[in-house]
Amino acid sequence: MSRRTLITAALLGLALMLRVAWAALASTELWFDHIFTDATAMGLLEGRGFTVSLSAPYDPAIFRTPGYSFFLAGLYGLVGHSVRAAFFANAIIDTLSCLLIYRMARQFFSPRTALVALFVAATYPFTIYAVGSLSPETLLVFLGLLFTSLVCNWSWREGRKRPLGLSLWPAGVVAGALFWIKPVFLPLPAFLFAFELLRNRSVRSALGRAFTVGLVGGTLFLPWVVRNTVEFGKPILAGEMGMVVWHGTLDFAEERDEMVKENFAIAPKKDQDRYEATREVFADSHRLLERDRVFLDRGLSNIKAGPVRALLLDPLRRIPRLWISTTFLTGPAIIGIFAAIACIGYLVFALAGGYVLRGRLSELAPLFILPALLTAVYAVFHVEARYTLPARPTLILLAAVALAALLGRLRRRFLPA
């Protein structure tokens, strides 16, 4: 076994060890939307459908799309109802993401850069932290990497006579999985078209690829839209859109924290725990949609009262917060300070890596599809830093290029041949 293989295995072992350790230590207490995800997963597993209701007729859940709930239901079916088991599954999935980052860096850059990328990915604190949470970010990181890898590896002879879908359907399937987990990925075909043009594809070729991916992914997503149209009379994507719009208009308001606490705090009734109290909130989807309409009206009123702030200034202020904010971290303020410093450090190295690769940016355009999409979408709405996790592997790859180049320079200077 070569030295490089041993180092690779050791780094993968380090990645798994760090994630398993956090999975074992993280709190399994669930909050708000995580309770919804857990309850709907149990509904699917027990044959009640995508619902949090415990008695017939089971009210169809609508707060979130069901992709991650399906994943959890499958996991619970294998190991039993265990949030801790979900954390351990996240640890394995995120280690596989580290392996994907390594393979991409080795393919597109160099073996040395691949090892640096694997070390950065293995020790990246923000993806490690996400492992100990019942949220879809860890799975989205893996799927986002898979999609990016597939797009980077597309190749066929121009004009070759074979169905376009045979080359593109795997990316369409992954796109469909992303749609099922979070509808914010629905603009993916449009961004794919734009970045294929940056890759120097012809308009016809870029349009064909984007259309095919969108067709496959959209066809897979269509049953969810049809189900909602039948159940609720309109093609709803998720029953939290009004809440997101309203919440977004408060992002930089002085009363934000109090307003959020007032509207999202759930007080258990007598002889009832918080899990059950929260589950009941999601048990009547029609009432939830009516409440969400109220949130939407509030949000639109706030936008009307301050359109420049809501439509221009706030989105611009959200962009740095997307990439530097550490709102997904809890604990003493000092932890948040060091996390923010780390965010800035990774960004600086990523920019340096982009400079090193400046002659290949057109070739590597697919690496930037998810960062551009998530920045654009979340700049419009309410944002938390964890929402950009599926785009952060691009930062890791670019930072690894810069670090590998720096190590090469230091080696040549201090260890001449």
| Residue 209 to residue 203: CA distance in whole angstroms | 10
Tell me the average pLDDT of the chain.
88
| Residue 124 to residue 114: CA distance in whole angstroms | 15
pTM to 2 decimal places: 0.92
Residue 371 and residue 394 in contact, taking contact as beta carbons nearer than 8 Å: yes
Question: Which of 325, 320, 303 lies closest to 312, judged by CA?
Answer: 303
Residue 346 and residue 353 in contact, taking contact as beta carbons nearer than 8 Å: no
- What is the pLDDT averaged over residues 258-269? 70
- Cα dihedral across residues 129, 217, 99, 117: positive or negative: negative
| Residue 398 to residue 353: CA distance in whole angstroms | 5
pLDDT tens digits, one per residue of 55-109: 888 899 999 999 999 999 999 999 999 999 999 999 999 999 999 999 999 999 9
Q: Is the pLDDT of residue 169 over 50?
A: yes
Contacts of 116 (CB under 8 A, 6+ apart): 105, 400, 403, 404, 407
Contacts of 372 (CB under 8 A, 6+ apart): 191, 195
| Helical spans, DSSP H, in 200-284 | 203-232, 241-249, 256-264, 274-281
Residue 100 and residue 168 in contact, taking contact as beta carbons nearer than 8 Å: no
pLDDT tens digits, one per residue of 294-340: 999 999 999 999 999 888 999 998 888 888 865 555 555 666 677 77
Residue 93 and residue 142 in contact, taking contact as beta carbons nearer than 8 Å: yes
The string of DSSP codes covering 341-373 is HHHHHHHHHHHHHHHHTGGGTTTTGGGGHHHHH
pLDDT tens digits, one per residue of 15-46: 999 999 999 999 999 988 899 999 999 999 99
Here the tokens at position 97 are 């993401």
